[in-house]
Amino acid sequence: MTGSDVVAGASAVDLADGEWHRLHPATPLLRGGFAFVAIAGFVLANLRERILGLFLGGGPGDGAGGDPIELIVRRGLIPLALVVVLLVLIVIVVIFWLSWRVHSFRITDELVEVRSGILFRTNRRGRLDRIQGINISRPLFARLFGAARLDINVAGHDANVQLAYLSGRNAEALRRLILLRAAGDREAGGTAAPQVEHDGSLGGMVTQRAREFVAPELDPQLAPPESVVTMHAGRLLGSTVLHDRTIIFVLLVIAAAVLAAAAHLFVVLFGVVPALLGVGSQIVRRFSRSLRYSIAATPDGVRVGYGLLSTNNDTIPPGRIHSVEIRQPLLWRPADWWEVRINVASHSDRQEGGRRSSTILPVGSRAEVFKVLELVLPGIVGDGSRELVVAGLARAVAGDGYTGSPRRAAVLRWFSWRRNGFALEPEAVLLRRGAIWRSLIAVPTARMQSVSLRQGPLLRMLRLADVHVHTVAGPIRAVLDDLDAAVAAGFFRDVAVGAVAAARRESVAHVANRARWQGMSRSHD
Amino acid sequence: MTDTTDLPVTPRGGVDPVPGEWRRVSPRYIWVDLVGSIISGLAATAAATIPFWVTQFVVLLTIPAVVLIIALIVAAFTPRRVRAIGYRLRDDDLVVRRGIMFQRFAAVPYGRMQLVDINRGPLARALGLAELKLVTAAAASNITIPGLPMADAEQLRDRLVELAESRRAGL
pLDDT at residue A188 greater than cutoff 50: no
pLDDT at residue A524 greater than cutoff 80: no
pLDDT at residue A381 greater than cutoff 70: no
Q: What pLDDT does A399 receive?
A: 82
Q: How many CB pairs under 8 A join A and B?
A: 125
Q: Are A496 and B109 in contact (CB < 8 Å)?
A: yes
Looking at A97-111, A153-167, A246-260, which range is the least confident one? A153-167
Positive or negative: CA dihedral A441, A442, A447, A453: positive
For A507, the closest chain B residue by CA position comes to: B169
Contact (Cβ atoms closer than 8 angstroms) between residue B93 and residue A500: yes
Q: What mean pLDDT is predicted for residues B97-124?
A: 88
Q: Which of B93, B102, B167 sits opposite A496 (nearest CB)?
A: B93
- Based on the number of CB atoms within 10 Å of its own CB, is B114 exposed (0-12), middle (13-18) or buried (19 or more)? middle
Confidence of residue A2 (pLDDT cuts 50, 70, 90): very low
Contact (Cβ atoms closer than 8 angstroms) between residue A479 and residue A466: yes
Residue A480 bridge partners (DSSP): A467
Confidence of residue A12 (pLDDT cuts 50, 70, 90): low
Q: What mean pLDDT is predicted for residues A312-320?
A: 76
- pLDDT tens-digit series, residues A17-75: 778 888 888 787 777 666 667 777 777 777 776 666 666 655 444 444 456 667 777 77
Q: What mean pLDDT is predicted for residues B60-83?
A: 91
For A129, the closest chain B residue by CA position comes to: B170
Spell out the alpha helix ranges (H) of B49-169: 50-55, 62-76, 78-83, 122-126, 150-167
For B14, the closest chain A residue by CA position comes to: A460
pLDDT at residue B102 greater than cutoff 50: yes
Give the Cα separation of B132 and B156 in Å (integer). 9
The average confidence (pLDDT) of chain A is 76
Spell out the residues 6+ positions from residue A119 whose beta carbon is closer than 8 angstroms to its own. Answer: none
Confidence of residue A140 (pLDDT cuts 50, 70, 90): low
Q: What mean pLDDT is predicted for residues B110-138?
A: 87
pLDDT at residue B17 greater than cutoff 70: yes
pLDDT at residue B132 greater than cutoff 80: yes
Confidence of residue A324 (pLDDT cuts 50, 70, 90): very high
Q: Are A453 and B111 in contact (CB < 8 Å)?
A: no
Q: Are A454 and B103 in contact (CB < 8 Å)?
A: yes
Q: Are A507 and B101 in contact (CB < 8 Å)?
A: no
Q: What pLDDT does A352 receive?
A: 36
For A320, the closest chain B residue by CA position comes to: B171
Q: Which of A130, A345, A455 sits opposite B14 (nearest CB)?
A: A455
Give the Cα separation of A259 and A262 in Å (integer). 5
Q: Annotate A331-360 with DSSP letters as a single string.
A: GGTTTTEEEEEEEES--GGGSSS-PPPSEE
Per CB-CB distance under 8 Å, the chain A contacts of B141 are: 449-450, 452, 470
Query: Which of A300-309, A378-387, A457-466, B132-141 has the highest mean predicted lDDT (pLDDT)?
Result: A457-466
pLDDT at residue A147 greater than cutoff 50: yes
Q: Are A449 and B16 in contact (CB < 8 Å)?
A: no
Give the Cα separation of A240 and A250 in Å (integer). 12
Contact (Cβ atoms closer than 8 angstroms) between residue A485 and residue B14: yes
Relative orientation angle of helices A244-262 and A233-242, to the nearest 10 degrees? 50
| A165 cis-preceded (ω within 30 degrees of 0) | yes
End-to-end CA distance of chain A: 27
Q: What pLDDT does A186 receive?
A: 41
- Based on the number of CB atoms within 10 Å of its own CB, is A99 exposed (0-12), middle (13-18) or buried (19 or more)? middle
Q: Could you tell me what percent of chain A has a pLDDT over 90?
A: 14
Q: Annotate A289-339 with DSSP letters as a single string.
A: HHHT-EEEEETTEEEEEE-SSS-EEEEE-TT-EEEEEEE--GGGTTTTEEE
Neighbours of B51 (CB within 10 A): 15
Residue A470 bridge partners (DSSP): A450
Establish if B144 touches chain A: CB-CB under 8 angstroms.
no
β-bridge pairing A6-7 and A20-22: parallel
Please report, for residues A153, A284, A320, A495, A497, the alpha-carbon distance to residue A500 in angstroms, rounded to integers and kept in the order given: 26, 44, 17, 9, 5
Q: What mean pLDDT is predicted for residues A450-476?
A: 90
Give the Cα separation of A374 and A389 in Å (integer). 12
Three-state DSSP at B145 gives strand
**Predicted complex ipTM:** 0.86
For B136, the closest chain A residue by CA position comes to: A449
Q: What pLDDT does A326 receive?
A: 94
Per CB-CB distance under 8 Å, the chain A contacts of B143 are: 450
Contacts 24+ apart (CB under 8 A), A20-23: A20/A104, A20/A105, A20/A106, A21/A104, A21/A105, A21/A106, A22/A100, A22/A101, A22/A103, A22/A104, A23/A100, A23/A103, A23/A104, A23/A105, A23/A163, A23/A164, A23/A165, A23/A166
The 3-class SS string of A78-114 reads HHHHHHHHHHHHHHHHHHHHHHHHHCEEEECCCEEEE
Q: What pLDDT does A156 receive?
A: 59
Q: Which of B92, B103, B168 sits opposite A500 (nearest CB)?
A: B92
Q: Are B18 and A493 in contact (CB < 8 Å)?
A: yes
Burial readout A228-250 (b: 16 or more C-beta within 10 A, e: otherwise): ebebeeebbebbbebbeebeebe
With CA atoms as reference, report the closest residue to A446 among A465, A469, A464.
A469
Please report, for residues A53, A394, A467, B126, the alpha-carbon distance to residue A421 in angstroms, rounded to integers and kept in the order given: 79, 12, 11, 48
pLDDT at residue B7 greater than cutoff 90: no
- pLDDT tens-digit series, residues A488-499: 999 999 999 998
Per CB-CB distance under 8 Å, the chain B contacts of A446 are: 169
Q: What mean pLDDT is predicted for residues A479-507?
A: 89
Backbone angles phi, psi at A20, to 5 degrees: -80, 135
Shortest distance, CA A500 to any CA of chain B (angstroms) = 6
Q: Are B112 and A450 in contact (CB < 8 Å)?
A: yes
Looking at A184-193, A324-333, A380-389, B59-68, which range is the least confident one? A184-193
Q: Which of B16, B93, B105, B141 to mutate to test the interface with A (most CBs of A within 10 A)?
A: B105
Report which secondary-structure segment, H or E, holds A13. Answer: helix A12-15
pLDDT at residue A460 greater than cutoff 80: yes
Q: Which of 59-88 (B) contact A at CB < 8 A?
A: none
Confidence of residue B29 (pLDDT cuts 50, 70, 90): very high
Q: Are A477 and B140 in contact (CB < 8 Å)?
A: yes
Per CB-CB distance under 8 Å, the chain A contacts of B145 are: none
Q: Are B170 and A510 in contact (CB < 8 Å)?
A: yes
Per CB-CB distance under 8 Å, the chain A contacts of B92 are: 497, 500
Q: What mean pLDDT is predicted for residues A104-109?
A: 84
pLDDT at residue B15 greater than cutoff 80: no
Looking at A211-225, A317-331, B137-151, which range is the least confident one? A211-225
Give the Cα separation of A357 and A360 in Å (integer). 7
pTM for the whole structure:
0.70
pLDDT at residue B165 greater than cutoff 90: no
Q: Are B169 and A477 in contact (CB < 8 Å)?
A: no
Q: What pLDDT does B135 receive?
A: 84
Contact (Cβ atoms closer than 8 angstroms) between residue B68 and residue B45: yes
Chain centroid, CA A390 distance in Å: 29
Q: What pLDDT does A5 receive?
A: 41
Q: Could you tell me what percent of chain B has a pLDDT over 70?
A: 89
For A463, the closest chain B residue by CA position comes to: B13
Establish if B171 touches chain A: CB-CB under 8 angstroms.
yes
Q: Annotate A139-170 with DSSP letters as a single string.
A: -HHHHHTTEEEEEEEESSTT-EEEEEEEEHHH
For B12, the closest chain A residue by CA position comes to: A460
The 3-class SS string of A361-416 reads EEEEEHHHHHHHHHHHCCCCCCHHHHHHHHHHHCCCCCCCCCEECCHHHHHCCCCC
β-bridge pairing A160-167 and B143-149: unpaired
- pLDDT tens-digit series, residues A161-187: 788 788 877 787 888 788 777 766 444
